[in-house]
Amino acid sequence: MPKTPSNFQLLRTKNILAILDGDVDFGEIPTSSSKGNIKISLPYLSGPMLCQISTQFGLPATYGWNGGAKSRWEYLDDLLEYCINNHRESDLLSFLFSKEQFVEKLRGYTPEIIDSAHQTIIATVIDQINGALYFGGHELVKVGDRFAIKKKGEAVSVVAPSVKTIDRSYIVNLSERAMKDVTDGNFDSAITKSRTLLEEVFCYVIEKKGEAPSESGDIGKLYSQVKALYNMHQNKDMDKRINGLLSGLEKILSAISEMRNKGSDSHGVGTKRINIAEHHARLFVNSAMTMADFVLAVSEKHT
């Protein structure tokens, strides 16, 4: 059966790639900062930066410093094609649009300006991409942390990322990346990675049972699926200390989900935003790793 073409192929045009690699701006955001106004554009990605990102996503690329280098849009097109073929196109967009990519562009502004500018830029960029997709009857949409390209008027259906294989080395690797964020002072990003780790482990063990993960993006609902599929509900005949641990794990999950909603880099500043200290971020990363490892162990016991 022939493979169904991905709608993300629609992004592989020079004008859209120019938006994604930061070549195009759409005016300025006025600020009262001494640094001046902020260009409405994605961060500029140089050829070497694109090669680094490409390698990071699993497609080794080397910049031709002594001649032979591709155009920047070609490097990005190669990477986008690779991500489409490996079902990581949404991951790539999440990476390009993440606040971490705006460090140099927004350095020196106040947190309030950074958060507001980031949201404005992303919203504008998505609008401009949708302008390019409009006459073909498609649009780019963001649901939770995932992206999809759908026909206009169709209901959005974005499933959680499907991970082929998750093992303890995967958990350790992502946890180490999150802890590096803590060391570098990127506490919001560390919490986002903690939540991502749990989401991907939950989706993985759900799919191992032949079930489809909840499409709501609600990590609590995903965990409820895991509990039902693996009979992880507290049992009155079980040692009360084990039941206490299970109850504690659920509290950890609830706290991580709530912290991400109010304190992570996925949402802007508001009255409910939480100031995160380093020791809190470390606690969240270590707690997420513990819970992910436990759920993976439960799934392995049932295989």
Mean predicted confidence (pLDDT) in 143-154: 80
Nearest to 200 by CA among 292, 294, 300, 92: 292
Model confidence over 7-42: pLDDT tens digits?
A: 899 999 999 999 999 999 999 999 989 999 999 999
Q: Are strands 38-39 and 28-29 parallel, antiparallel or unpaired?
A: antiparallel
Give me the amino acid identity at 177: R
CB atoms within 10 A of CB 258: 13
Q: Cα–Cα distance between 226 and 207 in angstroms, integer?
A: 10
Mean predicted confidence (pLDDT) in 116-132: 93
Supply the pLDDT for residue 11: 95
Supply the pLDDT for residue 164: 52
Burial of 243 (0-12, 13-18, 19+ CB in 10 A): middle
Strand partners, 38: 29
Domain ranges, ordered by start, for the chain: 7-151, 168-301
Q: Rounded to two decimals, what is the model's pTM?
A: 0.54
Q: H helices within 134-167, ranges in order?
A: none
> Cα(first)–Cα(last) distance of the chain, in Å?
30
Helix, strand or coil, per DSSP, at residue 28: strand
Instruction: Find how far residue 108's CA is from the centre of its chain.
Output: 25
Model confidence over 209-236: pLDDT tens digits?
A: 888 887 656 788 888 888 889 887 766 6
Supply the pLDDT for residue 167: 82
168-301 topology per CATH: Four Helix Bundle (Hemerythrin (Met), subunit A) (1.20.120)
Helix, strand or coil, per DSSP, at residue 116: helix
pLDDT classification of 238: cutoffs 50, 70, 90: low
Mean predicted confidence (pLDDT) in 56-84: 86
Average pLDDT of every residue of the chain: 83
Supply the pLDDT for residue 37: 94
SS percent in the chain: helix, strand, coil, step 5: 60, 5, 35
Check whether 268 has a pLDDT greater than 50: no
Q: What share of the chain has pLDDT > 70, as a percent? A: 84
Rg of the chain over Cα atoms, rounded to whole angstroms, equals: 21
pLDDT classification of 125: cutoffs 50, 70, 90: very high
Check whether 256 has a pLDDT greater than 60: yes
pLDDT classification of 271: cutoffs 50, 70, 90: very low
